[in-house]
Structure 1
Amino acid sequence: MTTELTRKLVVFACFLVTAVTLIPVVMMVLVAFQSDAESMAATPSFWPTSWHPENLERAFDLVPLGQYLLNTVIFAGGTTLLETATAALAAYAFARLEFRGRGVLFGIYLATLMIPTQVTLIPQFALVAKLQGIDTWAGMIIPHAFTALGVFLLRQFFLGIPRDYEEAARIDGANRWQAFTRIILPLAVPAIATLAVFKFIGQWNNLLWPLVISNTDATRTIPVGLQAFQDTHGTQWNLLLMAATVTTVPLIVIFFLTQRWFVRGITMSGFGGR
């Protein structure tokens, strides 16, 4: 098999996988423009017989979708900023600082990844409630501002950065903090961008924690707000999927804007450590 034929087969396979992956997205958009009767028919028809762009206005009128979008941006953005900061500091400590028990501590830290989120949900809720953080931004954001996965990702990248860069900076008079902020962080932009994209997308789609901690529209996020399209008479599928389409657009835009850094971070972070 020639190299050219292999390349064409790989391209075709990637195209096929992409097409299959996009089928649910295309169906979501098509149903979003259907009429109420057509979207709730016993026999589904995914291609609209008539297009109803007014479903977008109806979705915003039914629930405060704009408020939910703003709340989701605050929640996802706040957790992303805090996690990238805490993960970068912890990863630098595990990658560069020499202290007794570093390896054991890092192993214990990574072991927390095996604990399901549902196990820690009740203790987190009890702690936040005791601190009077229910239905507040601090109560929603701070418990999700730390993750072992982010520390592991950035630590692997930091280990791939030669120590000579830092040593040269230290010789020139820079302290450890200056070496970290002026040498390490600029070189780690791809890994940090990758972590930020992962975290933002994960928190944008987070349903469980906002569902538990938020009680009003002031802090309610999009995944929780989409439940408003369900009532005792059934689910308004066209309006629900229209709202879901609107909330998917920001993620698509963010991914394309950060695609270059995202691909570099995936390539270098997971396998670049020594």
Structure 2
Amino acid sequence: MVLVITIGPFLWQLSTSLKSTGEDIHTSPPRFVPRDPTLGNYSAVADIIPVWDYALNSLKVALTSVVTNCVGASLAGYALARLRFRGRRAATLAFVLALLVPLESIIIAQFTMVRELDLHNTLIAVVLPGSVGALNVLLMRNAFANLPYEVEEAAVIDGANVWQRFTRIALPSVKGTLAVVAIFAFMGAWDDFLWPLIVLSDSDKFTLTVGLNYLHGTFAGNPRLVAAGAIIAVAPLIVLFVCLQRYFFRGVGEGAVKG
């Protein structure tokens, strides 16, 4: 039942996007398999809006967010979990408290900041607020904290410095959590709608979620086009998860040491 509730809407959108204009999409009972499947709705979406340009903008934002989150969250998480410095507990608490702050309460301050930095109406402004997520930092911190200290102590005896312990011992041991961070960062950047809508004004810089909003407004009378746009938006997320699922499920057992 849970699988039907979860997958059902996606299959219905996929089915609707493949139905021709001559086929009724409101039959009772619903028909998931199109009588005459067509890809014309996808080409129609591309004719109405520059969907591939929007997708490219979203891809730039999402990939940049993945890189910044993986690098930043790994460094911050390792520092919080393995290094000893004054204020470490306060810094950890600050990241926890950051999870409790809703975006809507700080979005005006974010917009003011990017405007003062003269980054308004740029893709950099879209990436900047989510470049290092608090949740991702805490995920990496917990993954590094679960690693046995004996391994690093042996490396210290062998003369390894902090950077060498981080890159050669700690980081390779938490690939699963790193994959989780990558997926979360990609999904968050790819699906974000409110912030790009506020900070971007030129249509040629729109991300995919903002650009597809035109399908829900002007062309709401044709649900086939809306469904096709939704499938275009969700397809990269499915591809990403399929590629990283092996590492994603490994994240459950992070911290194990292989001999």
Both proteins in one fold, TM over 0.5:
yes
In the alignment, is the contact (CA less than 8 A) between 1:40 and 1:236 conserved in 2? Answer: no
* CA separation of 1:201 and 1:97: change in aligned 2, threshold 3 A: same
**What RMSD over aligned residues (CA atoms) do the two structures have, in Å?**
2.3
Deviations 1:165-200 (A, max 9, x none): 222222222211111111111111111111111111
Q: Say whether 1:132 aligns with 2:118.
A: yes
Aligned residue number for residue 13 of structure 1: none
- Other-structure match for 2:235: 249
CA contact (8 A) 1:33 1:51 kept: yes
**Aligned partner letter, 2:72:** T
Q: Which consecutive residues of structure 1, in runs of 5 or more, have no partner in the other structure?
A: 1-15
Residue number among 82, 86, 104 corresponding to 2:72 in the alignment: 86
Determine helix, strand or coil for the equivalent of 2:69: helix
* Distance in 1 between residues matched to 2:64 and 2:179, nearest whole Å: 15
Alpha-carbon contact 1:135-1:214 (below 8 Å) kept: yes
CA distance in 2, matches of 1:252, 1:234: 25
Q: Please list the CA deviations of residues 132-177 of structure 1 after superposition, one character each: whole Å capped at 9, or x if unmatched.
A: 1112122111221122111111111101111222222222222111
- Offset of 1:230 from its aligned partner? 3.4
92-101 vs 124-133, greater mean Cα deviation: 92-101
Q: Which residue of 1 aligns with 2:253?
A: 268
Match of 2:146 in 1: 160
* Larger displacement relative to structure 2 (46-55 or 164-173): 46-55
Which moved further from structure 2: 217-226 or 45-54?
45-54
Code of the residue aligned with 2:38 in structure 1: it is H
Q: 1:32 aligns with which of 17, 21, 27?
A: 17
CA drift of 1:49 comes to 5.3
In the TM superposition, 1:220-259 aligns within 5 A as 220-232=206-218, 234-259=220-245
For residues 89-238 of structure 1, the aligned pairs below 5 Å read 89-232=75-218, 234-238=220-224
Distance of 2:159 and 2:55 partners within structure 1: 47
The one of 61, 69, 74 aligned to 2:55: 69
CA distance in 2, matches of 1:41, 1:84: 44
Letter in 1 for 2:82: R
CA distance in 2, matches of 1:221, 1:136: 11
1:213 partner amino acid: V
When residues 101 and 156 of structure 1 are mapped into structure 2, their CA distance, relative to the original with a 3 A threshold, is: same
8 A contact 2:99–2:135 mirrored in 1: yes
Per the normalisation by structure 2, the TM-score is 0.90
1:256 partner amino acid: V
| 8 Å CA contact 2:220, 2:226 repeated in 1 | no
One-letter code aligned to 1:156: N
8 Å contact from structure 1 (residues 67, 217) kept in 2: no
Please state how far the C-alpha of 1:33 moved relative to its aligned partner: 2.3
Q: CA deviation at 1:254?
A: 1.1
Q: Structure 1 CA distance, aligned partners of 2:219 and 2:151? A: 65
Return the letter of the residue paired with 1:23.
G
Give 3-state SS (helix, strand or coil) of 2:177's partner.
helix
3-state SS of paired residue (1:258) = helix
The TM-score normalised by the length of structure 1 is 0.85
- Shifted more, 43-52 versus 20-29: the winner is 43-52
2:203 counterpart SS class: coil
1:129: Cα distance to partner? 0.9
**What CA distance in whole angstroms lies between the structure 2 residues aligned with 1:211 and 1:60?**
20
Question: Identity of paired residues, percent?
Answer: 34
